[in-house]
Structure 1
Amino acid sequence: MTTAPNVSAIYAVAWPLTLKALMLHGIVVIDAYLISALGEEALAAMGLAGALVGLLLGILFAFSNATQIRIAQSFGATGQVRLKTAFYCGLVINLGSVLIGVGLVALFGRAVIESAAQTDWIAAQAMSYLQVFLIVVFAEAIGQCLGSHFNGCGNPRVTFYSYLIAMPINIGASIILIYGLYGAPELGVAGAAYGSAIASLTRVMFMGVKFFRENRLFLDVKGWLRDSFAMAFKRHLLFSLPIAGTFLSMTIGTQVCVLIYARMSINDFAAITLIMPWVQVAGTFGMSWAQATGILVAQLLGAGADEATLDTFLSRAWRAAFVAAAVVSGMYLVLCLLSPWIYAGLEVETRAALWMFLPTLLLLPFPKGSNAICGQTLRAAGDTLRVMNIFVASQWLFKVPMTLLLVLVWDVPVAWVFSLFLMEEIVKLPMFHRRLWRGDWKRANVDDV
């Protein structure tokens, strides 16, 4: 792979990633909808347990993203030993992080839940959900690594098909086990966790069979990169830690901001709470395009492509990214236009706040998409520490303190508070683009990463 892929090649990688992400969000929404019939306390129990498992899964996804880049580099270099090493290093890291996380949950999970739960019933239901959902976490430790392999090798359709199979299984099994249909036990909140576990195990089995048929688990490939699994594992871990650190920083920073938002008026807090999931879901299109770009850049670097080829490819990817950003802006406009019907039960002040977010929503996808292209490209070249530093600096030196000032000190309108999502991207813009324009990434030797 030494010639610049065209836009259709990026699209071929990006669309399965987009649909996979949308289905992943959809499963969470559907589970919450199914449990909502059990009442607010059941939803509270699921949300309480979900906060803990969400952190475990998030760290897993971060490490898997790093493995995906390493596999893409290895695929570009067309080395079976490299592919084998990247896959098994990622798998060991995933399983190790899950074991540590589950150990912490076993030691402190009950105390955390009981201190946060408003009633004993909520605490008991949250613990029952959490204990079952840990099966999902273990399954995803393997599943995310398998998905990283297929994505990194330019075949994200397999990962997409696995979610396409898992989603109806999750919904059907959850409905049966939550409400005890067809002679099954009525498990309530825990039934949703069992449904997710069944679906996740099915997804892993599907990808595992595909992986075995294609590679036979690399049993025929002898040796490890750098002649030692221990040395290869150390390099892989050093590459992965900044990506996991970025996720942790973003997660903690987001939760801190939510706690600050809670000090606003009820209408303003409701409006910003409603719009944030839409920002995440609609933004999936731009983020998937950037992720696909990063995969192909990693493959090009692994193949030893020259600087002119890399420049040509990135220019194509960037131009198309702005088209994707325009599509996302259009989606936000439609959302605001339809908000009186979508949220007909909201008070007038809350719907008015949603309209005040529109200027920020129309502009946000453009710097966000451009920054994402930069970040994924730099990560593909092994510059993961600089990417983490940019995220951490923009969040903790700008967004969090400015949120504190705007809400608790200056008490400004909610539209200005929400504009910090855009301002944060503008703060990151020169840092990311200056680093990319230096061009060091084009000369990166992935063997040294």
Structure 2
Amino acid sequence: MYLIFAIIFYKKRRYKDLNVTQNKLNDQSLFNLSWPLFIELALHMGMGVTATLMLSHYSDGAAAGVGVANQLLGIFILVFNVTSIAAMILIGQRLGANELSSARKLARSAVGLNFWFGMVVAILVVVFGETLLRLFDIQGEVLEYGLIFVRICGASLFLESLSLALSAILRSHGFTKESMFVSILMNVVSVIGYAISIFGLFGFPLSGVFGVSWTIVIARAFAVFILLYLVYKRIALTFNVSDFIKVNKQDIREMMYIGIPSAGENLSYQFSQLVITAIVASLGDASLAARVYITNISMICYLFTLAIAEGTQLLVSRYIGGRQFERALKRGIKTLKIAVIASSVAALAMAMIGAPILELFTDNYAIIAIGLPILWAVVFTEPGRAMNIVLMSSLKSAGDVRFPVLIGIVSMWGIAVTLSYTLGITFGLGLLGIWLAQGIDEWFRGIFACRRWLSKPWERVRVKSTVKGHIG
């Protein structure tokens, strides 16, 4: 009897704590939400940059192969991420509308759905990995290194899908610090594993790309276990076997309503990047390696933008759920101004430093010579990318999920791909022409996103079955 009473008391206390947390959600500031996201994203990107940096000292071919393989795996990870973002938006809208039980039910559905997505994709990548890599028109040692990475890391994609869903649940409830904590632990595990693998520390048998790949698998498994514990600890949410076997159909429909258009936009972007990578590969291994290095460098420029965009997405979803439309509008505009300034300053600083940054990755003068003018093209690209990232994500939180995919497909293929070939190959501008084409694409989408946001899309968009009539 005492045990039963203790359990009941414990559960009541946990739910009371949840209600207190719920009341605090609407009082969270963009800064409180975004600084842990910034650190988390920095660490997440840092894993890729660190791996590329270390592998570049191992072999330029290994760095290029892993860079291309990462781009391929990134396409599939986007599928999981889109589902997770949809869940984060929907949970945020329910919390904004004070529908706690519905938010918890949807969280379970998101984890179950991502688990099955992850399992199916992992099998496909392992079976068809070589065929998919050959689409990038790579060969020789670049292909060999890429294939090792794809087969090992691809098999663990279901772990990545689970961690993305669990992180989304924590973030939607305002626990961005916890998600950041997991990223810190993952980076510690990864850096140690990279050092052992690439520099042969302690005589470890797994070396080079093989060791780096297994390090990522171990880090992903570690993250899933820690996230499961944190989800239970912070929001008293546990998962049963039935949550993975039977996923609520209504929750799936709602996540797909937001997720499928978002997936369409992101997949279109990734496939357009595949074509652009093939164009770059036709310019030679030096251009391909330069693109991999500059891509990693440019991530630093829009890192802050990604963090505050995601924080804004969380806030906008809550404001929309609570029908605070004017507050949502102002939040989007304020974030846009901050993001454009920050990304422009970061890109300009990188361009002015120039060669020393590229020399961190390679001592190959041919690669450095190609990369130096690209750093100035990044200065042109990043403000447009900031507009695109901030406002497209906010539009999705407001329920305007079709516009981003429509304008995205038109711009990515009509501008980015077409101009990349025209400027890079036809006019002979090489990688510089390709980067300028992508900058024009970012600006085009960013300007249209700004116009769309200022038109107050929630006044004409009814979010289908998301907050049960709270948006009308």
| TM norm. shorter chain > 0.5 | yes
Structure 2: how far apart are the matches of 1:268 and 1:53?
21
Letter aligned with residue 164 of structure 2: Q
Letter in 2 for 1:261: V
Match of 2:274 among 255, 266, 280: 255
| Alignment partner of 1:200 is 2:220 | yes
Q: Please, which runs of 5 or more residues in structure 1 have no aligned partner?
A: none
CA distance in 1, matches of 2:72, 2:393: 27
1:138 to 151, 158, 176: 158
Q: Which residue of 1 aligns with 2:45?
A: 25
Letter of the 2:191 counterpart: I
Name which of structure 1's ranges 287-296 and 261-270 shifts more when overlaid on structure 2: 261-270
Give me the whole-angstrom Cα distance separating, in 2, the residues matched to 1:4 and 1:354.
45
TM-score, structure 1 as length reference: 0.83
Change (3 A) 1:82 1:267: same
Separation (CA, whole Å) in 2 of partners of 1:271 and 1:59: 27
Q: Which residue of 315, 326, 329 corresponds with 1:308?
A: 326
Q: Does 1:56 align with 2:73?
A: no
Distance 1:403 1:161, change over 3 A: same
User: Per the alignment, in what secondary structure is the counterpart of residue 399 of structure 2?
Assistant: coil
Q: Relative to 1, partners in 2 of residues 1:386 and 1:293: Cα closer, same or farther, differing over 3 Å?
A: same
In 2, Cα distance between the equivalents of 1:348 and 1:444?
51
Aligned with 2:401 (options 379, 384, 388) = 384
SS in 2 for 1:73: helix
> What is the TM-score of this pair, normalised by structure 2?
0.79
Secondary structure class of the residue paired with 1:407 = helix
Q: Which of 325, 329, 337 does residue 344 from structure 2 map onto?
A: 329
- Confirm or deny: 8 A CA contact 1:177 1:186 kept in the other structure: yes
In the alignment, is the contact (CA less than 8 A) between 2:257 and 2:464 conserved in 1? no
Match of 1:157 among 177, 180, 184: 177
Deviation (angstroms), 1:380: 0.5
Per-residue deviation, residues 18-42 of structure 1 (Å, max 9, x unmatched): 2212211211232344445654565
**Cα RMSD for the two superposed structures:** 3.6
Tell me: CA distance 1:380–1:64, structure 2 relative to 1, closer, same or farther (3 Å).
Answer: same
Structure 1 position 328, deviation (Å): 2.2
Looking at structure 2, the residues matched to 2 and 201 of structure 1 have their Cα atoms a distance apart, in angstroms, of 33
> CA, structure 1 residues 199+153, in 2 after alignment: closer, same or farther (shift >3 Å)?
same
Asked if residue 11 in structure 1 is aligned to residue 28 in structure 2, the reply is no
Structure 2 residue aligned with 1:411: 428
In 2 relative to 1, CA 231–190 (structure 1 residues): closer, same or farther, beyond 3 Å? same
Alignment-mate amino acid for residue 22 of structure 1: A
Distance 1:40 1:160, change over 3 A: same
Q: 2:388–2:449: 8 Å Cα contact kept in structure 1? A: yes
Aligned to 1:276: 295
> Which of the numbers 352, 372, 383 marks the counterpart of 1:354?
372
| Structure 1 contact 322–366 (Cα < 8 Å) conserved | no
Which stretch shows the higher mean deviation, 163-172 or 197-206?
197-206
Q: 1:341 to 1:377 in 2, by over 3 A?
A: closer
Once the two structures are TM-superposed, the CA of residue 144 in structure 1 deviates from its matched residue by 0.6
Instruction: Give, in angstroms, the shift of residue 235 of structure 1.
Output: 2.3
Q: 1:110 to 1:3 in 2, by over 3 A?
A: closer
8 A contact 1:77–1:302 mirrored in 2: yes
Equivalent position to 1:433, from 430, 436, 450: 450
Deviation of 1:70 (Å): 1.6
1:97 pairs with one of 101, 114, 117: 117
Distance 1:264 1:90 in 2: 42
2:306 corresponds to 1:291: no
Q: Do 1:246 and 1:392's aligned partners in 2 also have CA atoms closer than 8 Å?
A: yes
Answer yes or no: is 1:424 the counterpart of 2:441. yes
Give the 5 Å matches for 1:197-236.
Answer: 197-217=217-237, 229-236=248-255
Q: How far apart are 1:388 and its partner, in Å?
A: 1.0
Amino acid at match of 1:340: A
Q: Which amino acid in structure 1 is aligned with residue 372 of structure 2?
A: L
Query: Conserved in 2, the CA contact under 8 Å of 1:363 and 1:422?
Result: yes
C-alpha spacing 1:351/1:36, structure 2 compared with 1 (3 Å): closer
Q: Deviations over 1:402-431 (max 9, x none)?
A: 222223333358655433233223322453
Distance 2:130 2:381 in 1: 40
Query: Is the 8 Å Cα contact of residues 424 and 432 (structure 2) preserved in structure 1?
Result: no
Aligned position for 1:240: 259
Distance in 1 of aligned mates of 2:152 and 2:430: 43
Per mean C-alpha deviation after superposition, the further-off stretch among 403-412 and 36-45 is 36-45
Taking a change above 3 Å as real, the CA distance of residues 80 and 433 of structure 1, as seen in their structure-2 partners, is: same
**Once the 2 structures are TM-superposed, how far is the Cα of residue 257 of structure 1 from its aligned partner?**
1.8
CA 62–434 in structure 1, closer or farther in 2 if over 3 Å, else same: same
**Secondary structure of the structure 1 residue equivalent to 2:323:** coil
Deviates more, 1:386-395 or 1:342-351: 342-351
Identity among equivalent positions (%) equals 18
Aligned to 2:105: 85
Contiguous gaps of at least 5 residues in structure 2: 1-21, 467-472
Q: Within 2, Cα distance between the matches of 1:47 and 1:192?
A: 13
The 8 Å contact of residues 302 and 446 in structure 1, kept in 2 or not, is answered as no
Runs of 4 or more consecutive aligned structure 1 residues displaced over 6 Å after TM superposition: 1-6, 114-117, 265-270
Structure 2 CA distance for aligned equivalents of residues 9 and 377 of structure 1: 16
Aligned partners of 1:286 and 1:365 also within 8 Å: no
Structure 1 residues 349 and 122: alpha-carbon distance in aligned structure 2, compared to 1, 3 A threshold: closer
8 A Cα contact 1:271 1:354, kept in partner: no
Aligned partner letter, 1:387? P
Q: Deviations over 1:164-196 (max 9, x none)?
A: 111111222344456775575445532222222
Cα distance in 2, alignment partners of residues 246 and 210 from structure 1: 31
1:237-287 superposed Cα distances (whole Å, 9 cap, x missing partner):
232111112111111111212322345588877765543332233112112
Kindly provide the amino acid, as one letter, of the partner of residue 342 in structure 1: I
Mark the CA change 1:301 to 1:257 in structure 2 (over 3 Å): closer, same or farther: same
- The structure 2 residue matched to 1:189, chosen from 200, 204, 209, is 209
Aligned counterparts of 1:114 and 1:248: Cα–Cα separation in 2: 19
Report the Cα offset of residue 351 of structure 1: 4.6
